[in-house]
Amino acid sequence: MTMKLDESLFSVPGLRRGLRFYVTAPTPCPYLEDQFERKAFTHLAQASPDALHHQLSEAGFRRSQAVAYRPACPSCNACRSVRVDANNFKLSRNQSRIVNRNRDLVRTPVEPKATREQFRLLKNYLLARHKGGGMSDMGYREYVGMINESPVQTLLFEYREGSEPDSPLVAVSLTDVLRDGFSMVYTFFDPRQSQRSLGTYMVLDHILSAEDYALPHVYLGYWIKGSQKMDYKRRFQPLEVLDGPVWRRLEDDE
């Protein structure tokens, strides 16, 4: 069940007139025990969707298919939007080792079109890493919707063990291209290759390749202080957090 939400609750400068927000019914929070989450959302499939998507992303929204959403929990504001300052990013020693470990992989940007090969990789990933999670019973038709139904500029980055089209596919990132950065919507990878640290590697690869696209940021979604599931995002420094309407550097003691 959804209901209309007063757009005055959101600080989105220059938001087009007439844009409607809705809020979902409460559901159990996947990150904090004994908490319930609600999401505010609006539809992107309308006039100038890329401009609207960029505007909303700067205000802390994320995309799922043709919808932009943001947490709207009345008694909790633990979810914080974060992005990496790609222009000032420096690899740590451990991150350099991860990049070198994956030098044999070939990244290819392709149109966001679902394939059976990608879907098999996703199912193996979900079975190994998120068994019983919200996406674990996803069927191929739902996967097609997740990948294909984007009204904004989106790419799939495929990572293969070689340059041939039939080289083994080991990782995939569904990535939106904003005016000021990559937004990593969803990633998955071969869970058998844990030695590669593929999840970390894909984030590093986006940060390092952002310069090729003249993009200063990589948006990583939400971060919750004290959440083990999200703590990995602090490894990519400098990390910026959305504080009200302003993006600022996330301090070490936060």
Instruction: Check which CATH number belongs to the domain holding 243 and give it.
Output: 3.40.630.30
The tally of domains found in the chain comes to 2
Are residue 139 and residue 182 in the same domain, yes or no? yes
CA–CA separation, 59 and 246 (whole Å): 9
Q: Does the pLDDT at position 240 exceed 90?
A: yes
Last residue of some domain: 38, 59, 79?
79
* Both structure tokens of 247: 């993006």
26-81: pLDDT as tens digits? 999 888 888 899 999 999 988 899 999 999 999 999 999 999 999 999 889 899 99
Which pLDDT does position 11 carry in this prediction? 52
- Whether 40 and 46 have beta carbons less than 8 Å apart is answered as no
Model confidence pLDDT, tens digit, residues 194-211: 999 999 999 999 999 998
How many residues in the chain? 254
Whether residues 75 and 89 fall in one domain: no
Tell me how far CA of residue 68 lies from CA of 53, 60, 64, in angstroms. Answer: 7, 10, 6
∠ CA 2-142-153, nearest 5°, is 80
**Cα–Cα dist 80/224, whole Å:** 6
Report the amino acid identity of residue 123: K
Same domain, 115 and 192: yes
pLDDT at 6 over 50: no
Q: What pTM does this model have?
A: 0.91
